[in-house]
Structure 1
Amino acid sequence: MNRSHFDKVKNGKGFIAALDQSGGSTPKALADYGVPEDAYSGEQEMFDRVHQMRTRIITAPAFDSGKVLGTILFEQTMDREVEGKYTADYLSDNNIVPFLKVDKGLAEEENGVQLMKPIPDLDETLRRANERNIFGTKMRSVIHEPNQDAIKEVVDQQFDVAKQILSYDLVPIIEPEVDIKSKDKEKSEDILKDEILKQLDQLSEDQNVMLKLSIPTKANAYKELVDHPRVVRVVALSGGYTREEANDKLKENEGVIASFSRALIADLNANQNEEEFNNALGDAVDVIYDASVNKK
């Protein structure tokens, strides 16, 4: 494990950028960026276009390591290059910690939750992640309803996969998202926190994880998780909130930093010139950084 990366993620001031849009979400991400589906032909060209978008973000002056602690990448991005270097190496050389999304998407909803689909090639992906100098990973589940047994199943699955990831000396980001539209969101969050604490208490001293969670309904509801000795960092997803809403809510949660995707890139467009693009990205980076380090 890269100890300087570990120290930066654990102690640094800033946030984690989520640039890990997968095959299913890529067309919408490109459309929002001003690249409609008729602008490219086939999956390969689609992924070429989204890598161009990610490269433009990563290489922009506003994407500053003083405010961006790390970046979550899509699997294909790990094997692509930015300015002649593998993406993770480019990020590391610019003092930004590289993470990798490793899940294969969500299963159908059952009992109010969506588990992760099976990840049959995870060992091979983790082996390649080490070759590509990736620091950690991320995998996502979704909770829609406060079903005790189902939420326990979500957390158990996440930690089972996390332990496999830990065996490769990588730091897993565990992401059991609670749907912000859930009518019983706070109750789901209470159950989720308790189940996560049970799992954290079973980890050994050399097993450290990160948590990526929806911003809780009740401010500082996850403070026990933030303070747990096995938790490197708790980061928050924007989850469908606007950037302003997400930032306002994030400021109420001590010790929690952002890991935003849509809220980070919402104002970026392929048709912007370099100055316009960098200014728009800089504005987003500045306000998300502020919400991550300055609390109410």
Structure 2
Amino acid sequence: MAATAGIALKQTIGMGVGLAGNPFLGQSLKLPSVNGVGKGKGVHVNPAGLAVVRAGGYEEELVKTAKKIASPGRGILAIDESNATCGKRLDSIGLENTETNRQAFRQLLITTPGLGEYISGAILFEETLYQSTLDGKKFVDVLVDQNIVPGIKVDKGLVPLPGSNNESWCQGLDGLASRSAAYYKQGARFAKWRTVVSIPNGPSELAVTEAAWGLARYAAISQDNGLVPIVEPEILLDGDHTINRTQEVAEKVWAKVFYFLAENNVLFEGILLKPSMVIPGADAKERATPEQVAEYTLKVLKRRVPPAVPGIMFLSGGQSEVEATLNLNAMNQSPNPWHVSFSYARALQNSVLKAWKGQPENIEAAQKALLSRAKANSLAQLGKYSAEGEAEEAKAGLFVKGYTY
């Protein structure tokens, strides 16, 4: 593996398919001289004398978009579940998994009045990016009118990683540049790529390296096409490991991610990090308090994440709605070098589904439930949240073993 990692450090050409099958590894790319390159191209010359164009001319826009998403009191609503996973959500309230029902649920979410006060970005699935409301208004326009930045999930999901300890790698680099250009044209301004690391299965050096390299290649391609990349290295909750073990793995994973981001000339000011919080495994005997989660998570962030990164948008990862909000609140009790916020799916949607039940007459109640959860997390981002008065349902765990979407 050491030899493979060494090869990966060289600049490579082509889109490739990650370390798990990249035919271009080891080929250096000679770029043109910097003469005549337009303003904002982010060109610099590295020690080897190679001119590198960063962010494909979108540098200023990327920084502006990232800062807008990482704005005070706001976070991200993740509604990028695949059709199959969205179907499971709909099935929980007795609805059939059809495009019409998926469209109805997502329309309910993004048309919630006042949502933009607490939500700065919405991650969409490809189907949703191209959908419109029943009265013909494009979903992306609905979001923009709410001052919410439209985003898009661009990875193609997890597949087995050959040569590993039953681990996974994320596919989707093939054709990513052309897809990203099309998403930008449709109105998306940021992207998301999720890969995972499993503690019970190692994690092996191969799996960690593949995860970090894939995220770095995706980030470079996204920026080159005008999309702010959300870098999501999720450390799965599965297992009975302690919070100390999670910290150990998080430090290793985040260090390698940022190493490869730098090797791929990714503009740190134009990305957002979407990590999992440093918490014990779902089956661990000892649970952690919000204060402990904040202490461990911020410790790893300060050791591994450059302050140039505008925002840390945590995933909920199967925590209950209240738990995810309490932990976020604890992390914002003192100033941080970054905007520390949320990018939640289940921890924002669960109460909404239960309130809606697929009935048109319940839309208003469901939207109020979404607004309530969004406001709670907005307060947590500001360090002003209190769980007093929260319903018992909101305290129920949402962890699903081996969760995929």
Q: Which of 150-159 and 10-19 deviates more?
A: 10-19
RMSD: 2.3
Report how far residue 205 of structure 1 moved. 7.6
Q: Is the 1:142–1:177 contact (alpha carbons within 8 Å) kept by the matching residues of 2?
A: yes
Change (3 A) 1:232 1:199: farther
Deviations 1:157-205 (A, max 9, x none): 1111211111112111111110022424222212112112323444648
- 2:95 counterpart of 1:36: yes
1:169 is aligned to 226
- 2:293 counterpart of 1:214: no
User: SS of the residue aligned with 2:318?
Assistant: coil
Trace 1:219-234 onto structure 2 (pairs within 5 A): 219-220=297-298, 221-224=300-303, 227-229=306-308, 231-234=309-312
Greater Rg by CA: 2
Q: Is the 2:220–2:265 contact (alpha carbons within 8 Å) kept by the matching residues of 1?
A: no
Q: Which of 84-93 and 70-79 deviates more?
A: 84-93
- 2:122 counterpart of 1:71: yes
Report how far residue 209 of structure 1 moved. 1.5
Report how far residue 281 of structure 1 moved. 1.6
CA distance in 2, matches of 1:101, 1:22: 9
Deviations 1:107-141 (A, max 9, x none): 12643642112443323321211211211100111
- 2:103 counterpart of 1:51: yes
Deviations 1:241-277 (A, max 9, x none): 1111111222233442110001101012223623322
- 2:208 counterpart of 1:151: yes
Report how far residue 3 of structure 1 moved. 6.7
Trace 1:110-259 onto structure 2 (pairs within 5 A): 110-111=164-165, 113-145=167-199, 146-182=203-239, 183=241, 184-202=245-263, 204=265, 206=267, 208-217=270-279, 218-220=296-298, 221-224=300-303, 227-229=306-308, 231-254=309-332, 255-259=339-343
Q: Is the 2:126–2:153 contact (alpha carbons within 8 Å) kept by the matching residues of 1?
A: yes
2:362 is aligned to 273
Amino acid at match of 1:141: T
TM-score by length of 2: 0.65
Q: Is the 1:138–1:175 contact (alpha carbons within 8 Å) kept by the matching residues of 2?
A: yes
The structure that is strand-richer by fraction is 1
CA distance in 2, matches of 1:16, 1:71: 6
Report how far residue 5 of structure 1 moved. 3.5
| Percentage of identical aligned residues | 26
User: SS of the residue aligned with 2:233?
Assistant: strand
Q: 1:61 aligns with which of 98, 101, 113?
A: 113
Q: Is the 1:264–1:284 contact (alpha carbons within 8 Å) kept by the matching residues of 2?
A: yes
CA distance in 2, matches of 1:235, 1:226: 13
Amino acid at match of 1:262: R
- What is the total number of aligned residue pairs between the two structures? 286
1:292 is aligned to 381
4+ long deviations beyond 6 Å: none
Name structure 2 gaps, 5 residues minimum. 1-60, 280-295, 333-338, 386-405
2:83 is aligned to 23
CA distance in 1, matches of 2:166, 2:325: 28
Q: Is the 2:215–2:257 contact (alpha carbons within 8 Å) kept by the matching residues of 1?
A: no
CA distance in 2, matches of 1:258, 1:228: 18
Report how far residue 224 of structure 1 moved. 4.6
User: SS of the residue aligned with 1:57?
Assistant: helix
Change (3 A) 1:121 1:196: closer
CA distance in 2, matches of 1:187, 1:205: 25
Name structure 1 gaps, 5 residues minimum. 41-45
